[in-house]
Amino acid sequence: MSNTRRVVITGMGIVSPLGNSVETFGLNLMQGVSGIKRLENDFSDQLEINIAASADIDGTAHFSKKELAVLDRVSQFALYAAQQALDNAGLDPTNINTDRTGCYLGTGMGGAASTEEGYHRLFRESQSRLKPFTVLMAMNNAAASHIAMHYGLGGPNITYTTACSSSAIAIGEASRQIAYGHCDTMLAGGSEALLTYGTIKAWEALRTLAKVDEQNPAASCKPFSADRSGLVLGEGAAMFVLESYESAIARGATIHAEIVGYGTANDASHITQPSVAGQARAMQAALDNAGLAPEQIDYINAHGTGTPLNDATETAAIKQVFGPHAYELAVSSTKSMHGHLMGAAGAVELVATTLALQAQLLPPTMHLQQPDPECDLHYVANHAAPQQVRYAMSNSFAFGGTGGVIILKKS
């Protein structure tokens, strides 16, 4: 990114199926712990596929009753992750120029539970009135707006919705706000809370969900394995504090990693089927933006959903972009453990990528037992692997075709 400012990550926060702190998430991630389990709630017996990766968080521990009355689960996740990120960055919002601080957030379905609760009241309970806060809880931009209100962030505030790449796009675009000098600090990430009856039913109908592994439900998501059968829905959030390199150095902040490249492109071909050309375009755009040769990338945190089509397509796209180096670099899909967090996936996986750079340890692709001839790269199968990593790429692709790819450099 010539003639632009360097952008660094100085804070991270997370709410996830693998824990609600970066430390816990990292420990579980590197030990191959799966957060996927059978759902046990008032509708789980009505599901054909009753597994998911839910986040275990008690809203009442973090928010007052008055706050909870207007915060959908998706906003609770985002706010809690944002607070962790600010604490981690050692940043007090009252001490920064909040006019030049913004929040970009990605979400696929926003306040899905609030939307569904409204419909439930109207159509199931035949009531004629909805809660006064229904619109405000359901709207997609609520989470980012609450973060701005809570911390007084008067800079740009934009919510991105590009399905499963939403938060990768939000983070990438936020990095540009800093790179181009429009903002000094950005809170960026994603949040998703769509494990509702109606949403899971809609995913069931799409026939992309993984079959339950009856022997071990936690192992149901099997990216790049020949016996993979689909994705597992997850929920959670991850937020980052991004700032200019100069700002981080000036205040003596710990730099977790540097964002050196961001690329986005659209498949422009099919609403669900991924395209090799589209995915390759997004990865190449990120490499071009970083000014890196393909050979310089050591690790790719793959989109790796565990669907038969995605994993084969992504493997082919990596080969197209990286040529012979595709067989040298390491690729892993951490969705095997935390599931597919949809609009929050890119953000949570960027935390995983950052941790890989910091620890020089690659998180594994779990439950990869049966090699697939179409997926013939080095996938860090079943065990974390120590490896020198200087540059790492995080891939996010999506229904609707928008890919978002971010390249990090070890700090």
The footprint of other proteins (CB under 8 A) covers 64-66, 69-70, 128-129, 131-133, 136
- Measured in degrees and rounded to the nearest 5, phi and psi for residue 244 equal -70, 150
Torsion region of 266: left, alpha or beta (phi above 0 gives left; psi -120 to 50 gives alpha): beta
CA distance 261 to 407: 5
**Is the CB of 65 or the CB of 124 nearer to other proteins?**
65
As a whole number of angstroms, the distance between CA 344 and CA 335 comes to 12
CB 403 within 8 Å of CB 374 = no
**Contacts of residue 34, Cβ cutoff 8 Å, sequence gap at least 6:** 53, 218, 219, 221, 336, 337, 366, 367
Q: How far is the CB of 81 from other proteins (least distance, A)?
A: 24
Half-sphere exposure of 184 (CA within 13 A, CB side): 16
Minimum CB distance to other proteins smaller for 70 or for 277: 70
The residue from 183, 221, 256, 303 that is catalytic is: 303
- Please report how close the Cβ of residue 125 comes to other proteins at its closest, in angstroms: 12
Closer CB to other proteins, 66 or 124, in the complex = 66
Min separation Cβ 195 and other proteins, Å: 25
Catalytic pick among 221, 340, 367, 375 = 340
At 256, list the tokens. Answer: 């977790």
68 vs 359, beta carbon nearer other proteins: 68
State yes or no: is 270 an active-site residue: no
Min dist CB 222 to other proteins, Å, is: 46
Pairing state between β 37-38 and 299-301 = unpaired
Contact yes or no for 394/349 (Cβ under 8 A) = yes
* CA-only gyration radius of the chain, Å: 20
Q: Min. distance of Cβ 376 from other proteins in angstroms?
A: 57
Task: Tell me how far apart the alpha carbons of residues 334 and 13 are, in angstroms, rounded to a whole number.
Answer: 17
At 338, list the tokens. 């935390």
Residue closer to other proteins by CB (options 136, 226) is 136
SS3 338: helix
SS3 of the chain: helix, strand, coil, percent, to 5: 40, 20, 40
CB of 128 to other proteins, least distance (A): 8
The burial of 129, by beta-carbon neighbours within 10 Å (0-12 exposed, 13-18 middle, 19 or more buried), is given as: exposed
Q: Any catalytic annotation for residue 103?
A: no
> Is 164 one of the catalytic residues?
yes
Nearer to other proteins, 141 or 272 (CB): 141
CA distance 167 to 341: 10
Closest approach, Cβ 119 to other proteins, in A, equals: 17
Residues with Cβ within 8 Å of residue 245, at least 6 apart in sequence = 5, 6, 7, 8, 255, 258
Q: What's the rounded Cα separation, in Å, for the pair 270 and 305?
A: 17
Active-site residue numbers? 164, 303, 340
